[in-house]
Structure 1
């Protein structure tokens, strides 16, 4: 009796799964057509995972084909409602298409099916060591770090050049992901070696300055140092030193308006004009007893500004405007000749010479007063004394020259 019941249930299941057409012939049920409901993200970078959601994808990965333009994607997972793949390199903007057993899926994504790949984010290489740290043109130097390219032409190594500090490129001999060998080029001088990988500059490791010393340059002794500094900047205008012996050199050259140079002649920093410059070049430089370097910048007293570079912080800090309107000298507002020298006394008072060769004082409160009139300083009242230089000694005695 039990066998009969089981047989009847089985028959009901089998025959119930089939349909008959009008002629009474049994036909298989229709397969669900694939459809896309969403694609995310639509702006992936190479290496990102793209997810297609929808229905009717089946369960066999070999039955599914996803393409973007002419490139076929390699799928990483598939369910009846979700497909995933990793975007490879070289894919350009195009529509994404999905086919299941050669049946093209309908796209119901309201945002469309266009994929717009973003460029890959390049890792920032690091620069941790060099060996040897000194040598001459033609020597081979090994640079160590991370994120270098194994393709020689994708690595660029720049040395400081003798001609106005312009970089000279060394020939890369070998390259791995962590090491580059490079030949010291002719014309290189002592300075920081820069490594550029796929147009991305390597960052220096903490505590490592990246400086390579060129033995043949004569740096650090007598006239050799002077010659090097002379070649670092054209149209040098003013200079000062801090209490560590570093030299601050300024010029009318817009590209290299202010440099910080070590006692050995190594360029420690080229200040970007955006850090302090609004108009005109740095007209005066000086230092005080605390090791702070002061600078005055601008073409006239109506537009000039004073900044200071505090010891231990290379960023110029704005102090105040030197505005002619504040003191009633509007007749100077149209002047375009540069301001002249400046100095700071032991109390922190700032003295500067304007473009009419008058000496001005700015005290600790920011109050600005005329300290000397150029006409009063001249023994010949028919002409003024053109003050061009000012310095203050440790006893706060002021010396001027013109």
Structure 2
């Protein structure tokens, strides 16, 4: 027993002091240098792939070199002092891997990292969303997708699509805008294709090329909405059809899905003047077109000035009458102011005779046509009567209708005297018992009228004209 123990201690001491007892081989000048790994290629491999390990101190004898991947021995194909070719063992699990190179009798091994990829084909598990819009994005879930875009491809309906991202068990792709209906999706990873799976692609809605025109139609005077007004949108371009709507009870309207373009929008309502405006409709936008309508006039007006044709001055209190064409009864009458100006409003549409009269002037008539909402300007220049009366001239004297028979006889029996505008006082009379008559005029000796009295006893002559 003592002999065995002494032998063990001697050997242990010798392993420290004597190189011949080192399990890792000789030390000092006889021990080979430790191997050094500079790189491993490729870094992403599958079971059965051959990797190239570059570095130094590998020796030249394959029997002296051992390569392991995650602790599992890899078959060494060839060895040079700077290169080792080895095969990934079939029993290695996918995931992160460590390559370790050991050279016989070297004091230490060298190691490097790589990724072990599964050799199983990808499997599609599902889609999100179940129905994708053409041109939208689609998430494909499943297994064995890897984690690199460069190693993966996806086809939809037989056409390759853009891959936006790849992660473990998930691929995000861009669906083609032209795709539609139920289509097949295939995922290919490092040359291995999945079984096709179907997904529904909804066709892309055409871009919105229409807009909206909206607004309100109101009365200009009160601001109240006008219900039942007709709104017409007529496009400048001949290729766009005319669109029309009717306002609601509050005067509001809305034209939707009107093609983009420029339109003339017109609002009409019974009893109101129409209104229009030009608007430009943009795709997907709304434009407002409000209308404030004036009440449509039903009558017109006549205005102007009555003047002395000889002097151009206005005739104060000149009478202007409006008669229906062919009728002698005036329907409108106005008197001119001190400047001769007159105005007649509220005249219905139609054709009328307008007559201006003033004592001492020849009456003047003119035919006019009145249009609702319009003003007719009619100036009338009256010609003065002759400046003096000569003996033998005839005048027509009209007795007032209100005179009694006795008053008429008295008025006709006497010889009334009056002064004309020239200051000449003619004298004459009318036949007894007559309400009107023609008399010969002769000059009186006096220039002042000698006959007077109040109008109801024969004083004053209401109307006279040269016969």
TM-score of the alignment, normalized to the shorter chain, above 0.5: no
Q: Please give the TM-score of this superposition, normalised by the length of structure 1.
A: 0.28
Larger Rg: 2
Q: Which has the higher strand share?
A: 2
